[in-house]
């Protein structure tokens, strides 16, 4: 006859001493397990509810209450940012329909354009003037469209100057609004007209051109006669398009919007966005210049997420022979494809290229002049070297009748190495590195 065990454990709630055939003990364990499971479920539900409540409170409720309170106060005070100094402001004169555009003339050496506040929304367009004027000034025309004329009470459009004494002086135009969101809505259009080039010079040289205008679409027209030493563009949630710009250094930064255009760069170019595509033509020129004892290498950095990257590049050295040169190209995205192609490259150049993505294809079409190693990081079935030469013998770009050789050193389940050279003893100073997590990598020869 079985005897019941008494629960004498130090913690009878959690660890009762039982025998395997003790029916009461089994029932007790089942009961405790159900209680623990129910308790854990309640904790998870309460934790998730607390997270949703706090997130909703900080993300939606508090801003909505603040905006409602500010609308009730109807405060027209427009705070002046601490990094700029205001000059002459626009005086909107028209009382019917849209007001007359405001005009400003800013120094051409280092123009800057900034915006602050939720009502500062619109487009900035940079073009070359088709008329003569002050050769050292850029004409800026600001027009505005709105639903209610009261919109103008919440915004200011003024001449601005940079306040930082440690930096080179900058001047331009700023659009500033109240820090809260009234019911009135409007949209600005900023037209920047750069002066025409005189007959004595081939390019209109601008030391620095900078914008920091969130929620402003940026459009650069064909600026073939303009050379920027430093071009920096920053916006958010708005596309950037450049028909043609030429510069020593270019930094383009936006978010949730695409970047398009043609960029002719002597130094470095950075094109950065998120959740959108990058589709550009790059003309990289290695001028072999030295800055403070450091050799300037022509480089490009293309970065996005959840969007494809497509770039067609021309690599040059700026010399008559178009020989040599060193170039670095980096392309990064996620959950999208990368497609890099080359139209023209110099003989005996050194190209270091890296393309990285996930859940997408990384493909590069190797230029005929390229010589160097290659590396692909992807799962074994998704790595390929596409030899498009067929029976056609490729022409040696140096004219020495060398043969094009493609080496495949093999690899493991996740990586493969090889080289592409002219002749078996060819130069291998370049490097191409492709990486795709759960995606395909392709090298087209």
Give me the residue spans of the domains in the chain: 1-73, 258-445
Supply the pLDDT for residue 293. 56
Supply the pLDDT for residue 247. 97
Q: Tens digit of pLDDT per residue, the chain (445 long)? A: 444 444 444 444 444 444 445 565 656 667 677 778 888 888 888 888 888 888 877 777 766 666 565 554 567 789 999 999 999 999 987 656 678 899 999 999 999 999 999 999 999 999 998 877 778 899 999 999 998 888 999 999 999 999 888 888 899 999 999 988 887 889 999 999 999 887 666 789 999 999 999 999 999 999 999 999 999 999 999 999 999 999 999 999 999 999 999 999 999 999 999 999 999 999 999 977 655 556 678 999 999 999 999 999 999 987 777 788 999 999 999 999 999 999 989 998 999 999 999 999 999 999 989 999 999 999 988 999 998 876 666 788 888 888 888 899 988 889 999 999 988 766 678 999 999 999 999 999 8
Supply the pLDDT for residue 297. 84
Supply the pLDDT for residue 4. 45
Q: Six-digit token pair at 90?
A: 């626009």
Supply the pLDDT for residue 27. 61
| Alpha-carbon gap, residue 89 to 105, rounded angstroms | 12
- Do residues 413 and 393 make contact, with C-beta atoms less than 8 angstroms apart? no
């Amino acid at each position: 006859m079985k005897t019941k065990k008494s629960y004498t454990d130090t913690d009878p709630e959690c660890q009762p001493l039982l025998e395997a055939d003790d029916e009461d003990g089994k029932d007790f364990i089942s009961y405790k397990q159900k209680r623990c499971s129910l308790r854990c479920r309640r904790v998870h539900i309460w934790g998730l509810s607390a997270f949703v409540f706090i997130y909703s409170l900080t993300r939606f409720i508090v801003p909505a209450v603040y905006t409602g309170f500010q609308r009730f106060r109807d405060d027209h005070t427009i705070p002046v940012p601490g990094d700029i100094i205001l000059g002459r402001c626009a005086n909107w004169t028209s009382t019917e329909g849209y007001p007359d555009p405001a005009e400003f003339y800013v120094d051409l050496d280092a123009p800057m354009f900034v915006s602050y506040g939720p009502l500062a929304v619109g487009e900035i367009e940079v073009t070359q003037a088709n008329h003569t004027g002050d050769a050292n000034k850029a004409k800026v025309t600001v027009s505005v469209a709105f639903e209610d004329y009261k919109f103008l009470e919440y915004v200011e459009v003024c001449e601005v100057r940079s306040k930082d004494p440690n930096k080179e002086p900058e001047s331009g135009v700023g659009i500033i609004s109240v820090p809260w969101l009234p019911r009135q809505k409007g949209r600005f259009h900023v037209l920047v007209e750069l002066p025409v080039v005189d007959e004595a010079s081939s390019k209109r040289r601008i030391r620095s051109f900078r914008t920091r205008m969130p929620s402003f679409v940026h459009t650069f027209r064909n600026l073939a006669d303009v050379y920027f030493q430093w071009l920096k563009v920053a916006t958010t949630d708005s596309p950037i398009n450049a028909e043609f710009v030429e510069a020593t250094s270019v930094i383009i930064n936006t978010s949730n919007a695409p970047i398009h255009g043609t960029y002719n760069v002597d130094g470095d170019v950075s094109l950065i966005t998120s959740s959108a595509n990058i589709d550009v033509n790059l003309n990289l020129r290695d001028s072999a210049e030295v800055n403070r004892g450091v050799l300037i290498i022509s480089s490009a950095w293309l970065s996005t997420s959840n969007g494809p990257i497509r770039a067609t590049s021309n690599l040059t050295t700026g010399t008559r022979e178009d020989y040599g040169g060193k170039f670095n190209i980096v392309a990064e995205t996620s959950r999208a494809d990368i497609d890099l192609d080359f139209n023209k490259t110099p003989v005996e150049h050194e190209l270091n290229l890296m393309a990285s993505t996930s859940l997408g294809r990384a493909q590069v079409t190797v230029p005929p002049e390229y010589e160097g190693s290659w590396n692909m990081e992807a799962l074994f079935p998704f790595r390929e070297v596409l030899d498009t030469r067929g029976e056609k013998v490729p022409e040696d770009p140096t004219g020495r009748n060398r043969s094009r050789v493609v080496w495949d050193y093999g690899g493991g389940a996740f990586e493969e190495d090889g080289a592409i050279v002219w002749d078996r003893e060819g130069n291998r100073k370049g490097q191409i590195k492709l990486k795709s997590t759960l995606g395909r990598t392709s090298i087209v020869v």
